[in-house]
Amino acid sequence: MKVLTLNIAHGRRSGPHQLLQGRARIESNVDDVATVLRRERPHVVALQEADGPSFWSGRFDHVRHLAERAGFAHAVRGDHARALEVRYGTALLSMLPLSDAVSVTFPPVPLRFPKGYVVSTVTWPNDGGLQVDVVSVHLDFARPSVRRRQVAQVIKRLRQRGKPLVIMGDFNCEWAGREPTLRLLASKLNLKAYLPEASGLKTFRRMRRRLDWILVSPQFEFLSYQALPDPISDHLGVVSELELTGGRG
């Protein structure tokens, strides 16, 4: 199964705030994302900062637009922020049917738009029935203590669903260093990352940090893993081909 994660930055590409760009520019930027998705042809895409109709980003549904332009039959968007004609959050696009979709918004943090995640179940392609939960998550950008609380909620909810996992998104933190957020998530849900301490997979170019990740259950192996070079956002997309191993434990 091929998967891809991308923070699409409300359709502003890497330019100034989306409010300073007209609808035509925003739509062109989102079309550029669709071009990359058509080229890569992933089974499942995880999106963050994905807008519904919002006054600051062209008043159109970016997720539906991407699904139509890139040829995805299935989509789900979780609006973690809904105020003042702004609707945005995380989303999943899929070539495979999505079932049992849930959107979870984290508890509010003062002076910041809320974050959250969406999760849905897909059937592993060509396997005859293995059910897998795919997740798109966006954690707080500012405080490690908030990210740890958010991850604790993710761990609790996903454990209850009881399925193998492919968790993707903008975690706003790295693997190494003092902050344990990613390591905690991986340990508690028995997940693994691709070369977690490698130096050549930076995804947030402005700060040269690896903030965007794909974490998977032990049933899956990484056949390939790449940070895409396309400048379609202030984040780079990450794409991976996953293989089902012999064990399903």
Is 43's pLDDT higher than 70?
yes
C-beta pairs of 26-34 under 8 Å, 24+ apart in sequence? 26/57, 26/58, 27/58, 27/60, 27/65, 29/232, 30/62, 30/65, 30/66, 30/69, 31/69, 32/230, 32/232, 33/6, 33/8, 33/66, 33/70, 33/232, 33/233, 34/65, 34/66, 34/69, 34/70
Q: Write the pLDDT tens digit of every residue in 223-238.
A: 999 999 999 999 999 9
Task: For residue 247, name the pLDDT band (cuts at 50, 70, 90).
Answer: low
The overall pTM is greater than 0.85: yes
Is 199's pLDDT higher than 90?
no
Percent of the chain with pLDDT over 90: 89
Q: Write the pLDDT tens digit of every residue in 24-42.
A: 999 999 999 999 999 999 9
Mean pLDDT of all residues in the chain? 95
Q: Write the pLDDT tens digit of every residue in 52-94.
A: 999 999 999 999 999 999 999 999 999 999 988 999 999 999 9
Q: Which whole number is the average pLDDT over 5-16?
A: 94
pLDDT (0 to 100) of residue 249: 47
Is 246's pLDDT higher than 70?
no
Q: Which whole number is the average pLDDT over 205-231?
A: 96
Task: For residue 127, name the pLDDT band (cuts at 50, 70, 90).
Answer: confident
Is 218's pLDDT higher than 80?
yes
Q: Write the pLDDT tens digit of every residue in 149-194.
A: 999 999 999 999 999 999 999 999 999 989 999 999 999 999 999 9
